[in-house]
Structure 1
Amino acid sequence: MKKTLKYIAFGLLGIFALMLVVVVCVAATFNPNDYKSLIVKLVQEKKQRTLDLEGDIKLTFWPKLGADLGKVKLSEHNSAREFASIDNAKVSLAVLPLLKKELVVDTVYIDGLNVTAIRHKDGSTNFDDLMSKDEEASEQIKFDIDGVNVTNTKVRFIDEMQDTVYMVNQLTLKTGHVALATPFEVNTSFELLTQKPKVNAKINVSGNFMADVEHQHFVAKKLDASINGAIASLKNANITLAGDIDAKPENMKLLVDGLKFAINGDQEGAKIALNLSAPKLTVQKNVVTGKQADVSFSQEKGNDTINAKLSLADVKGSPQSVQSSGVTGELSAKQGAREVEGKFSSPFTGNIEKLIFDLPKLAGKLNITDPALPKGAMQGAFNLKLHSDLKQEKINTDLAIDVDDLHIKGNVGIASFSNPTFQFNLDLNKLDADKYMTKSDKPADTKSADTPIDLSALKKLNAEGSLHIGDLKVANIKTNDVNLKLNANQGIVELAPFSANLYQGKMNGSLKVDARNTPNIAFKQNMSNITIGPLLMDAINNDMLSGKGTLNVDITTQGNTVNALKKALNGTASINLADGAFKGIDVAGTIRGVKDKLNFMKQSNVTGDKSKKTDFAEMSASFNIKNGVAHNEDLTIKAPLFRIGGDGDVDIANQTINYNAKPTVVNSLKGQGGSDLGILNGLTIPIKVTGTFAKPNYALDFSGLAAGIAKNKLLENVGGAKGDAVKGLISGNKVDAIKSLIGGGNKTAPTQEALPAGDTAAQPPAPPSTPEDKVKKKLNKLLGF
């Protein structure tokens, strides 16, 4: 027996000595660099990539098998473009564990790793081939790494699908012992830079981690993570996360201990702070327990502040039915002279397995004080019933909200959290929107019309719903029984139909906004039996027009500013009114005054006078709108004394008028000014309307009227009662004849006795030029006398 053991011992010793000799001989004679070309060829055949081994490969055989590589480069698939490179890499592994199919690796050193990864527009990447499985599946080998040490690493990820680039710079990573299904220490830091959103931050992470993907078990112990830098609009950001987390999602197990999360930074000139604390939460198969969790938020910008706090009381129950005595919240805010205070609370129930949570009686109150409010203060109360299904990505709530005398009832829902769709059905008893808008004493900014309109919020909006308002006042316009339906889909928003009662009539129409590129707007509105005067007075504080009738508008426009939208207006509009008046000029009164010794010649250009008006029985007009200018050719106004036609333009963008009104005197004169105006029958008096919407001017062409009168009387009264006047027009005193034609008579001035010749002192001075003299000159020039 002893000899047998002795022989075995000597045999093993001999084998060991032989192996040692072989290793020594191989180490002395084997040059791994002789196989570079073979390695390069193998990579080319297997992966269609070019491997470039620039440095010498150094091997060690005992007690660990290892390799020390120089600079290495790897191309992209079927391309000469570089995919990755390493300045230096070193790895070694124990030999004997390989016999048991165990991979025991010493610390892995990687320095100067540089990777450029790309996701193409079709979703494929430039590293898909590296992630594909080998043709021959090999038996799984257990691995064990003593540690990983990565320095000076840079990773660039180009995402062509999202048109953005992610950069990781100065990455360092150091781990403890790494093995499958075993927690290991990690300490890493790196710089992160992205374009969309803009990020430039330093990230540090340390802790004890385990990721057992096969058994879906994830652990983070002594987690300590921080982010410092700029993240989108958040500047000087300091984000921290600490605590212990142990999760088994498939088994619905979760252990949270001492979890703390905080965000601090500057956003658009305001300092913000968000804090979350979850001291203890245990979710197991049949038991759920948890201590109170708190969330707080604060914001400071100058003297303006916002403070909010949300608390979830202790929870208990099971994963199928968890409950808490309540969720409570507090809000306080100060903005200028406005102060807001609010509180709310609700019981809490849920099903963790199905991720369904309810706040069945969410009730609260809100108080607002502000000198700008009508009563200096406003009180509100709300009651909500909120239901959320996180697996189905749905949230629904039935609500009842009271704010002063405003009552809102209905429901609101959200579907799909990643690309949310909002659904609503709301009923408001009345809404005075002007009441809740803070009035500004500052004059209107004339440049605001050229400020780009920001409709970016509509580009991702998905919404569908209906709204009813009993009484609505907005921009001082009053309506009631308002009904609208909204449909919004990724930048296209439609209000159709949109109907309401207003100013003793009805309106019905639609609005469509396409905000995907340059805003494009289409608007249709039909108003019937509208009392136009009060509407204009409330809308623009100008009652230039009154009457009752219809107003139809069908227009489109596009542009990035208000001025651009005005200048791009195209479409049609029409108006049809009865029993009304337009203010600024009294056409009938002016015509009646024609006989007053031609006094009208002094008033040929008149600024609009709101104290005067022109009554009409009917009025109609249609407009073709092109590039912001409304053109009309069919104005018709009917009044007892006259008819008015007209044509011209209204420049909506510049708010100016260039219009020719053409009143024509009709035969219905008796009782409207006397038979002495019969001479004006059938005559047209051109009226030029110019100026602005706010201050129109009226130019009256009465010299044209005089010429018309003369022409008519020449044709009508030759040989009649006015024969002498006609003769006067032909050969006599023409001005006196015109005056007699229109009823002014011929008042002969008293003659003076002849003065002695040469007695200039006795001659009276020439009388000053009178309005009538001016009339004579104008008529002489007009009629060619």
Structure 2
Amino acid sequence: MALMIAPEDERRGGSWRWYLLAAVLALPVFAIGVVAVLFDPNDYKPQIVAAVKQATGRDLVIDGKLHLSLALRPTIAAKYVRFSNAPGGSHAEMVSLERVEARIALLPLLQHQIEIDRLILVRPDVLLETNAQGHGNWRFDNGVTARPAAPRIPHATTPRGNFLVRNLLIQDGTLTWRDGRKASTTTIRLPHAGIQMESATAPISVQMDALWNETKLNISGQVGSLNGLQGQSAAPWPLRLVLSTGGAKLNMSGAIADTAMGKGYQLKLEGATPALRSLASLLPELRLPDLHDVRVSAEIADRGAALPEITSLSLQAGPSDLAALVPGLKLTRLELGAPRTDQPLRMTAEGNFDGHAIAVLASYGTLASLVGGGSAPMPLDMALSAGGARITLKGSLGPLTSLSGANLGLHATIPDLAVIGRLAGVTLPGLKDVTVQSKLLSAAGGLQVVLKDLQFNQEAIDLGGEISIMTAPGLAIQANVLSRRVDADALRAAGLLGESSAPASAPGRAPRGPEGRSEGQRSASQFVIPDDPLPFAALRLVDGDVRWRIGELVRDGESTRNIDLRAVLAGGKLKLDPFAATLPAGPVSGSLNVDASQAKPAVALVLRSPGLSIQQLYHSLGRDGPARGTVELDLDLRGEGESAHAIAGTATGHLGLAAVDGSVDSQMLQQGLLGLLLRGINQGALLGRDKTTDVRCFALRIDAKSGVGDVRALLLDSSPLYLDGNGMMQFGEERLALQMRTQLRLLGLGVAIALRVDGSFAAPRVVPSMGGNPDAVGRATQGTAEATVGIIGAGVDAVGGVLDKVFGGDRGKGLGSALTPKTACSEQLTIARGGRAGPVPTPAAAAINAAPEQPAPTRRSRQDPLQRLLRP
């Protein structure tokens, strides 16, 4: 029989249940009210600090008061809170903040767990760092005693320390990352950041607004659980984050096996930016090129080695204007990549430069060697095409930052060298159709580049041999090269040798003055010998040992052949020895020594030639006309000073010139000393009788000591005139003191006139030693020094202007010398040659030019025929 309940009893039971429910609901409210009246959270500071200590193993310091907001999930707020760093950290606090607010779940406390629903941090200063061993300060240790080693896989669902924050909000924070192994520090401001997790085993969501170097960044995504971050999960800690700034974006996905040590990671990076320069503030230490439409991707994995494994590396860029790097350079596309760490880095680039298409194909080293920063040479294979040129390099090369360890084969074909120079940002001459083949080497001890087996070919110049350039401890050059032909005119036209100064007989040749110096090129000083400083300082900038042999050198349309020179320069001391060449006028050899290491540079010059063509010497002076014969040269001078004038003013040594059986254009002689003398005595037509003037012999010998020259031999024996003399020349003050005697051959009779030459090199003065017409002789003196050296000076210009400068002077000592009697050609030639034997006039020339010995002129009566001859 079923139990029956009356309806009224049912109504009484339902009411009872409602009363019971109301009592249950009122009890917590009553309890909260009681707690609000009786509970002070500041009394529990020690317990809170102890609980954090137990959960994390770190100290928590609360300087301000605690405030409690009662609810089913009470909220505790505090000011000026500090959380200690890991032992051995760089700073005492890991976290310091102005205010913290925590909403705590009550029920987990019954299970001895701290679970915070929401944690708000206001102006936190957070330090995340690793020590020298790579251990992170975010790894908490809540044990105070050592425990036995446990298996690597703990319980997967128990949060270490029984501590959980579900929602973390950061307002106006600062995050500092310090890498203890690299000793690097990065600081990021966090105006706003939010981190959410449902549980210790659930993924963590991240949303951050950051400022890095005043550049706005946004970081969003999802990472692994809190348990996984603290090493309490066997599975790798996953992550998927997106970093964006402006139009740039970087996606990072993957997992980390050991979050505590930051090891065992495997990540994939994919990034893109419309303009690489927009990232300049994030990477201030890099000079980013102005690349556009840039895309980059790579996979990075930790395999336990010292360096990560990088695979599938790819960088691409679209059309970009690179004028900021190289004016006129535009990029069409760029591809850079490597499939694996142990494979070469390959690059492909295309573009144009000043309207010329360019392309680069290159492979270099491996990613492992490049990232590792090793110094071992790495394989290089590069081909550059630009402006029709093609340059290839193949071999091995060390780090690009030092260019050491180079062993490269170089081959280049270049239609226009200037175009390649502009592409490289340097000025190169406009040489056309250049081919270069060589081996490029480098050595230890600083940058040293060696061009071995060099072959440089161009229409204007070719080079073959070896060139070495060193930069440490100072700049030094060593070379041993051979050239078949060097066209200086073409090189000058290409801008390699400066302005042209062609001879007068060729187009553009500048006219020469009587002393062989181009008009407009005289020294600005008061002296004939230039007093402008010579560039001795350049000799102190570089050391070197250069040997250069040239088959043919073309200059001003003329060829110099068989050039052989060696220049050794060390510590400001230059030695040019040997020097030999066959000039257009004939062979010449010698040496040059310069010591620029002392306050007054010392110079020693030796030049010798067995015979220089007289006609070619006059041609070098810009004068035309028939000529025959050669002149011997013997120059050996030493001096010191900063200018040519100073060196001449201290010169010690000798100059010797000798010539026999020659002839010159009579019209040309009329423009020199002979013409002036003959016109001065009313015999100007004498040189016009014949087209050429025979020269039986010419001899000159000047011995110099401390800037004073002793003219020991001076003889000109020609068909219309015999001239001899001696005397002194002061090169420092440029003063003359010469005694000269001329004999005119008129109708077979010798007529002698004694002359004295004094004054300065710039304004010489000639007066008769006795008798004669001073006015007539005076008219003949204009340009005496110029004309006297005119014959000599022709050779001076052809051998570099050395002899021209010999006739500039010094201090005045010992002026004057007794007139020596006339000496035969052979004797004067022997003196001029320094005692050496040599050619003498042929008997035929001696018979033609024979003239009786004449006594010194004596005073004559007014009716003397010679006086009538000299009458103006």
> Which TM-score applies when normalising by structure 2?
0.45
Q: Please identify the structure whose Cα radius of gyration is greater.
A: 2
The structure showing larger relative contact order (alpha-carbon pairs under 8 Å, at least 6 residues apart) is: 2
More strand by share: 1
Q: TM-score, normalised by structure 1?
A: 0.49
